[in-house]
Amino acid sequence: MENKRTAFDYVLMVLFIGMIGITVYPFLNVLAISLNDPMDTMRNVNFIIPRKFTWSNYSYIFSENNMLKPFLLSVLKTVVGTGIGVICTSMLAYVLSRKDFYFNKPFTILFIITMYVSGGMIPEYLLIMRTLKMGNNFWVYIIPGMIWVYNVILMRSFIEGLPMALQEAAKIDGANDFVIWYKVILPLCTPTIATVALFQAVGQWNSFMDTYLYARELPTLQYVLYEIMESAQIKVDPHAAAMGQMKNAVSPMSVRMAITVVATVPILIVYPFLQKYFVGGMTLGAVKD
Amino acid sequence: MKQKKKQKETKQPFSLDLMWRQRYLLLMSVPFVIWVIIFKYIPLWGWTMAFQEVIPKSFALPVWERKFVGFQNFAQAFTDRLFAQTMINTIGISILGIFIGTAAAIIFALLLNEIRMKKFKQFTQTVSYLPHFVSWVIIASIAKMLLNDGGAIETMFGVNLHLMSTNSPLFWIVVCLINVWKEVGWDAIIYLSAMAGIDQGIYEAAKVDGASRFQQMWHITLPGIKPTAVVLLIMSVGSALNVGMERQMLLSNGIVQDHAMVLSWFAYIRGIGSNNYGIGTAIGMFQSVVGIILLFIANKVAGMIGENKLV
């Protein structure tokens, strides 16, 4: 642009720096509280640089409060759920992209309908808990939400955009449909796979309702954070604090913020790298069927 | 795109031979069809419970042996002391959310589009996605830390605005603003891509004619994204009753609960909380059916005013 900057450009700049501030400030505030001495935090919660730096909140949640198990469960659920989800989504998307498949139309309709009509919470709850008896079983996190039809449609339109000649060439070489999916389609689908994997991984990592409804005995990180938020009853020993053993003292606020950081950081590390994929995926998502 | 047309083949008649030739495709799709029937269609069949008396004791009975009560569950739900307020909350939060959300996303996209420094624009956009990827539990945890009485906002400004402790529609606004904070960058993606699709030649022509940047924004960019905005707006009206229970439950507290209750949460409390599956299903079904009707109306309206239909 050869235009020189006008006052408007500077106003915009200031405006957006302000916006970045509003977006980022709460996160920095949380991070600072989690790294600050709990007793000091009680004075005033409004700061973004730890006043009295300490790791004690983190060592507390991972040792005494035993956050390790929920953390590992969240990781396991995210990895398994995303892996299975991506495989199933791409497989189904490939089959539905094959116009020569005899059941293409009816199967496609069967899946699309579910995007608009759902039985609702209670019938789903009863199906999973009473009929299938999947309550408090690890697979309740994985199986019921295995496929998002939206993602299938996203991937199908991507596969339909690939040159058909590749599939035909593979067929002439004697490859069956499964091999074509595995050897030809999957490697070419990397951009959509990245998008779908991100969507599903974020969904799994962030989900809280599935634990809340179906598996309270298998608490994930998000659910533990919810419980702490609701009860605000971290066992703080007031005597220990009064006796001057300040080092081991914790406050509910500090612990909550430390867990908040642990639950947030993995996602913040991943998403900026996948940005170019999901922005494309979002706009492609507006396709009609 | 060219491939799609070429692929249009004559449909082959059903034969065992064809099934054998497509056995891999069948193997790769039938398990998912079974999955979708179990997890998506059986719950739909569960709608029969809306017309029956279903409590934990009678759930084990087959459908035909349960007591059939007609529309009694619906009547009981609609006359519930919480129902009227729940409907008002659902519609209020929903409409407020749609309008504030759409306006914020459009303004954000419009202004971001005007930034000329590419690096800064890119950075701003990346930061703006951040809250979208963070769960509602975390957002609620942060929001309560900031907005509760004695929280960071109060210490910062020295006034207690009672944002989370006023039992009035103020809570709707708080919820909607938190939602805007979380989603504005994400929602702007679609508008930014619509703006990228506007012919640059129009801007050049306007510049030659001496149009200022505001005039260009007003007369070129805004009309350029109007079709997208109208379609998105109408479709979101179609899902007006689907205010998620998760967000409401996490952000609310005992004081504001009267103004936080929405239909899906109400269905949970009556259905699972007090073990009356019949009523819970009836509320869910009401929500779903109204949603479908709204969707069809919205789709019709979109077609009538000459925009692309989405369905």
Tell which B residues from 260 to 299 touch A, by Cβ distance under 8 Å. 264, 267-268, 271-272, 277, 280-281, 284-285, 287-288, 292, 295
Angle (nearest 5°) at CA A142 between A136 and A143:
95
**Minimal Cα distance from A176: which residue of B?**
B24
- Nearest Cβ partner of B129 from A117, A257, A271? A271
Q: Residue B280: its chain A contacts at CB < 8 A?
A: 121-122
Q: What is the DSSP letter of B12?
A: P
Cα A4 to its chain centre, rounded Å, is 42
Which range marks the domain in which residue B137 is found? Answer: 76-304
What are the residue ranges of helices labelled H in A173-285? 177-179, 186-188, 190-206, 209-214, 221-231, 238-242, 252-270, 275-284
A92–B28 C-beta distance less than 8 A? yes
Residue B174 lies in a domain: yes
Q: Which fold has domain A68-216?
A: MetI-like fold (1.10.3720)
CB pairs under 8 A between A and B: 256
Instruction: Say which amino acid occupies A228.
Output: I
Q: Give the Cα separation of A185 and B206 in Å (integer).
A: 46
Residue B9 lies in a domain: no
CATH number at residue B287: 1.10.3720.10
The number of folded domains in chain B is: 1
Q: Give the Cα separation of B310 and A182 in Å (integer).
A: 32
In chain B, what percentage of residues exceed pLDDT 90?
A: 53
**What is the predicted pLDDT for the residue at A283?**
66
Rounded mean pLDDT, B232-260: 87
More reliable by pLDDT, B238 or B284: B284
A229–B190 C-beta distance less than 8 A? no
The whole-angstrom distance between B169's CA and the closest CA on chain A is: 23
User: Within an 8 Å CB–CB cutoff, is residue A229 touching chain B?
Assistant: yes
Q: Is the pLDDT of residue B245 over 70?
A: yes
Q: Minimum mean pLDDT among A22-36, B161-175, B195-209: which range?
A: B161-175
Q: What angle do the packed helices A149-160 and A68-97 form, to 10 degrees?
A: 50
Residue B219 lies in a domain: yes
Q: Is the pLDDT of residue B155 over 90?
A: no
B135–A207 C-beta distance less than 8 A? yes
- Nearest Cβ partner of B250 from A110, A226, A260? A226
Q: Give the Cα separation of B292 and B297 in Å (integer).
A: 9
Residue B129 lies in a domain: yes
**What is the predicted pLDDT for the residue at B135?**
94
**What is the predicted pLDDT for the residue at B158?**
79
**What is the predicted pLDDT for the residue at B2?**
42
**What is the predicted pLDDT for the residue at B297?**
87
Tell which B residues from 146 to 205 touch A, by Cβ distance under 8 Å. 146, 151-152, 155-156, 181, 185-186, 189-190, 193
Q: What is the pLDDT along chain A (289 residues), one digit of tens a residue?
A: 446 678 888 999 999 999 999 999 999 999 999 999 888 887 777 788 888 898 988 988 888 778 889 999 999 999 999 999 999 999 999 999 999 999 999 999 999 999 888 888 999 999 999 889 999 999 999 999 999 999 999 899 899 988 889 899 999 998 999 999 999 999 999 888 998 999 999 999 999 999 999 999 999 999 999 988 887 544 444 444 444 444 445 678 888 899 999 999 998 888 888 888 887 766 664 443 3
Q: Give the Cα separation of A123 and B45 in Å (integer).
A: 8
B111–A110 C-beta distance less than 8 A? no
User: Within an 8 Å CB–CB cutoff, is residue B107 touching chain A?
Assistant: no
**What is the predicted pLDDT for the residue at B7?**
47
**What is the predicted pLDDT for the residue at B306?**
65
Residue B209 lies in a domain: yes
Angle (nearest 5°) at CA A100 between A95 and A105:
70
Q: Give the Cα separation of B42 and B36 in Å (integer).
A: 9
**What is the predicted pLDDT for the residue at B269?**
93
- Structure tokens given for B265: 């949460």
Residue B31 lies in a domain: no
Residue B94 lies in a domain: yes
Q: Give the Cα separation of B230 and B106 in Å (integer).
A: 12
The whole-angstrom distance between A90's CA and the closest CA on chain B is: 10
Task: Give domain limits for chain A.
Answer: 7-64+232-279, 68-216
B7–A100 C-beta distance less than 8 A? yes
The whole-angstrom distance between B34's CA and the closest CA on chain A is: 11
**What is the predicted pLDDT for the residue at A237?**
46
More reliable by pLDDT, B167 or A248: B167
**pTM, full prediction:** 0.87
Mean pLDDT taken over chain B: 87
Long-range contact list for B114-121, CB < 8 A, 24+ apart? Answer: B114/A8, B114/A12, B114/B213, B114/B217, B115/A9, B115/A12, B115/A13, B115/A16, B116/A1, B116/A3, B116/A5, B116/A9, B120/A13, B120/A16
